[in-house]
Amino acid sequence: MENIKNDKHNKVTINENLIINKTYYDYFHNQLTCPIDFNLILNPLMCSKCESSFCKDCIETWIKHNRSCPNKCTEFKIIPCSKAILKIHEGLKLKCNLGCDNEINLKNYIEHQASCKLKEVSCWVCNNNVNQESISIQYKNYLDEKLLLDKSKFVLKNYNLLLSNQKRYDEAINIINKTIEIDPMFETGYLYKGITYKKMGKYELALEFLLKSLQIDSFSTLAKFELQNIMFKSINSVEEYMKNTEQKGLKEKDKYSLYNISMIYFIKKDYINAEKIINISLELDNKFVTGLILKSLIYYKGKNDSENAIVNLIKVLELEPKNKYIHNNLGFIYHELKNYEVSMNYYRTAIELDPNFLGAIKNYSISKWKQKIIDEAKIYLQKSLDIDPYYFLSTTTLGVIEYEFDNDDKAKQLFNQILEVDPYYTFANRYLGDLFLYQEYYDEALKCYLKVAEYDIFNEETYISLGKCYYHLKMYELAVNNFQKALDINPNLDEVITFYDNARSDLLTNNYK
């Protein structure tokens, strides 16, 4: 019998033979066992009336189909467990299913499984599945031999991801610093340094390096998502950072500080303040390339003015004709305008300037895909993955192509391949959620969209998707709340107004019954 497994509903269960202190388990059996599935309770929640504890997955599934808790309580709420119950969960000791020597308490068991050194992951070097401890050794040996190669910065970035997943944060920071030593303009190095600091809870440092990444490539979507996630987790840190940095920028006439504030306003969709602040930086230096690029982005996204965005970027190109990011950004805008021939010309120039420029290679392949040149699109996506197998944007795009051609199983495989390494990767969760929603697996879609909502907090599409899931699950109040959030962001969504009215009507009918 397996020690830990996923049941048919994809719920993790733990076999009792992993328990170390069995006497303790026998004594607290009622507090440790879920009365719904009779397994050890994972991610415990409790009923506000009878104070019984349940697995989060179990009770959330239960209340979708029942108007009382499993103990027949009515007019109840499901709330976090008391400190006393959590203390009991911390006291139950378990062996690691993967075979490491650690003793893990029940409360932290699932988290340990994700970061255990014996968990198998795909190795960049040998392309085999090996455990995380072995891959650490292989990466180190490989790096010792290849460190002087430009390509090794991608290996270092992947090594950082591996170490941070294992919570070996100091080592992860040291490794990602080496990518920046190799290439001080490697925006991905600053991005992953920011992500590592975010995982450590050091939000101000995370902000600093995520914004440094955006100073190099203002059009980077991933860095913006990570900044949104910090706003989700610690808005106070962001507000304090904005206050201090704006004062510094204005007092010391520091154009980069002003850029950082403008970018945060831009991410918050406060385009008026974003433009106001970036204009101040350009008054200090009218050839401030980083500021000019952000102003183009404000034209494009904030004002829906692609013409002025392009004109502005072409002026910037005259200042820095070999700036690969400007060529890539122009390609992106022309692509969005469906002028694929011009967009591909800009992408080709960006790739000529840097043959390992993953963003341009990926974007070039997407232009091929949109013109239905599928085989060539896949060739270029694979080319980017040959340079960096953990370049998830390309893997996600391959998954979307498979989904478009109804190869749902292949698409799921590609999305899950990413989520095994990074469970919160926004694009993979979004498209996997779309796939589940299309297949009417609403529970699974909901799990994906909830992860997206932690990162993409200013995107109405996120809340529309959540609203649809909740509506189909007959959780009308939550559906109404999410449709309302979408309308708060964009009031001109006629389709969502219809969804909102239907959900509200069903909520009132349900409450009346």
Instruction: Provide mean pLDDT across the span 364-389.
Output: 93
Strand partners, 79: 46
For the chain, give the percent of residues with pLDDT over 70.
90
Question: If you count DSSP H runs as helices and E runs as strands, how many of each does the chain have, helices first?
Answer: 27, 9
Quick one: pLDDT at residue 8? 40
**361-374 pLDDT tens trace:** 999 999 999 999 99
- Say yes or no to pLDDT of 464 above 80: yes
In CATH terms, the fold of domain 4-115 is: Herpes Virus-1 (3.30.40)
Amino acid at 221: T
> pLDDT, tens digit, for every residue of 236-278?
889 999 998 988 888 889 999 999 999 999 999 999 999 999 9
Whether pLDDT at 503 is above 80: yes
> Is there a contact between 512 and 505 (Cβ–Cβ < 8 Å)?
no
One-letter amino acid at 69 equals C
How high is the pLDDT of residue 146?
54
Mean pLDDT, residues 126-138: 64
Average pLDDT of the segment spanning 387-401: 93
Axis-axis angle for helices 132-146, 152-165 (nearest 10): 150
Report domain extents, the chain: 4-115, 459-513
> What pLDDT score does 79 carry?
86
The answer to whether residue 106 scores a pLDDT higher than 90 is: no
Among the residue ranges 36-45, 119-128, 283-292, the one predicted with the least confidence is 119-128
Hey, which bits of 238-360 come out as E strands? none
- Write down the mean pLDDT value for the chain: 87
pLDDT attached to residue 150: 52
**Neighbour-count burial of 305, counting CB atoms closer than 10 A to its CB (0-12 exposed, 13-18 middle, 19+ buried):** middle
Instruction: Report if pTM > 0.85.
Output: no
Confidence of residue 133 (pLDDT cuts 50, 70, 90): low
Tokens of 300: 């494009």
The yes-or-no verdict on residue 137 having pLDDT over 90 is: no
In the block, residue with structure tokens 């959030």: 485
**Mean pLDDT score, 496-508:** 85
Q: Can you give the pLDDT at residue 237? A: 86
Q: Are 220 and 240 in contact (CB under 8 A)?
A: no
What pLDDT sits at residue 347? 97
CA 280, 283, 285 angle in degrees (round to 5)?
Answer: 115
In this prediction, residue 188 has a pLDDT band, given cuts at 50, 70 and 90, of very high
At residue 153, the pLDDT reads 86
Beta bridge partners of 104: 94
Please give the pLDDT value at position 288.
95
Dist. CA 135–CA 158, nearest whole Å: 11
- Could you tell me the pLDDT band of residue 158, with boundaries at 50, 70 and 90? confident
Q: Residue 132: its pLDDT value, please?
A: 66
Tell me: the pLDDT tens digits for 338-348?
Answer: 999 999 999 99
Local confidence band at 156 (pLDDT 50, 70, 90 cut-offs): confident
